[in-house]
Amino acid sequence: MMKLVAGGAGLLAAPAIVKDAFASSGSLNYMGWAGYDASGIFEAFKKATGITVALTENPDQDAMFAQSKLAVPTGSADIAEPTFDRFRSWASNGLIDPWNLDKLSLSNYIDGMPGAKPGDESEIDGKHYFVPSVWGTEGLIFSKDAAPLTYGEASLADLFDEKYTGQVAVRAHSALAAMGRVLETQGKLPKPFRDSYRDEATMREVWDVVLAEALKHKSNIAQFWASENDAQGAFRTNGCTIGLGWDSTAVNLSGDNFGFIAPKEGAFAWCQGFLLMKNAKNIDQAHEWAKWMSSPEGAAAWASLYKSNSAAKGAVDHVDQSVRDFYAAAYPADAASKLWWWPTQDAWFVKLRSEYADKFKAA
């Protein structure tokens, strides 16, 4: 079973793996996520390596993908950090180059993480394009007062229960995936839900059924979220009492009496990681960053930033006890063994998925 490892706060000591701290120096142009203050980590990395990081923030993966298309012709971005399920879209659009594994330390990663070893699914034609950073899940966020849930009973189907009319916060495409998995358990899909990720005809056949059923429960949705800030606002400000959201969002909401639990069907699991951009101007610096982020100290600090689980070995030794306790409560009993990892999504799938999500939101 994979061990849950969440990063603790204030873990910015320079890692021992950087043998020559100022061998690279220079700068690194990093395309990452909005809503997180990584300035302290960037300073620690600069102290360890002499490399200054410039961050371009993006609110979601679609924005990051669009921005990358603008960055590639000019070489204005060196690395990006989408999730593993999306990296093939980047590759098929000619946006990324493979990593030089001689300049990385794959042995630093937890076994089973995407990109943790040569020859795994992060490779295309024998070239390694993805190295992991953090991982986490989408599960059920709930108000402990207004919508209490317990493990083993809490279900993705709760999102569509009429008792939560006007109280639910979801990401549109994730809600459709949740509906798809619910319908599959009920025997109401023409084919297994995972098969819909394989080809366009199967996707349309399955997702037409999913969308039709989801639209019957559209009145449950109070807010669609697209970013960390959106999701927190849905619960803190806009009155949502239950929703499908990132575990990291729930950590940030825990002080407001919200909880997080894996649904009995298994939480959606994702792995975030680094891609080397095509036409990158600072290739050595990009490799230094990826290597530093695989050390226990760097990895724990990065996981702390996102309130997520680290992909690196040894980060558990640096976790904050309160965060560790949160994840233990979020994934009790056999929850970790039931994780439902998002399948890889080619460009055609992402395009169609967006079309279905738009129809759901617009109805």
Helix (H, G, I), strand (E, B) or coil at 185: helix
Length of the chain: 363
Is 65:86 a contact under the CB 8 Å cutoff? yes
| Structure confidence at residue 109 (pLDDT) | 94
Task: For residue 312, give the DSSP letter.
Answer: B
Residue of 10 and 127 predicted with greater confidence: 127
- Residue carrying the six token digits 């590639």: 72
Residue of 22 and 144 predicted with greater confidence: 144
| Structure confidence at residue 4 (pLDDT) | 46
- The percent of residues in the chain predicted with pLDDT above 90, rounded, is 78
Statement: the pTM of the whole predicted model exceeds 0.85: no
* Residue 19 pLDDT grade (very low, low, confident, very high; cuts 50, 70, 90): very low
Mean pLDDT, residues 105-116 taken together: 91
**Considering only CA atoms, which of 71, 52, 31, 36 is closest in space to residue 288?**
52
| Structure confidence at residue 7 (pLDDT) | 39
Q: Which long-range contacts (CB under 8 A, 24 or more apart) does 143-146 make?
A: 143/235, 143/241, 143/242, 143/257, 143/258, 144/257, 144/258, 144/259, 145/257, 146/241
| Structure confidence at residue 185 (pLDDT) | 97
| Structure confidence at residue 116 (pLDDT) | 92
**pLDDT greater than 90 at residue 260:** yes
Q: What does the pLDDT look like over 150-195, one tens digit per residue?
A: 999 999 999 999 999 999 999 999 999 999 999 999 999 999 999 9
Q: Within 10 A of 71 (CB to CB), how many other CB atoms are there?
A: 22
Average pLDDT, the chain: 91
| Structure confidence at residue 14 (pLDDT) | 35
| Structure confidence at residue 24 (pLDDT) | 52
Residue of 20 and 289 predicted with greater confidence: 289
**pLDDT greater than 90 at residue 11:** no
Token code pair at residue 22: 């100022």
* Residue 225 pLDDT grade (very low, low, confident, very high; cuts 50, 70, 90): very high
* Residue 3 pLDDT grade (very low, low, confident, very high; cuts 50, 70, 90): very low
| Structure confidence at residue 328 (pLDDT) | 80
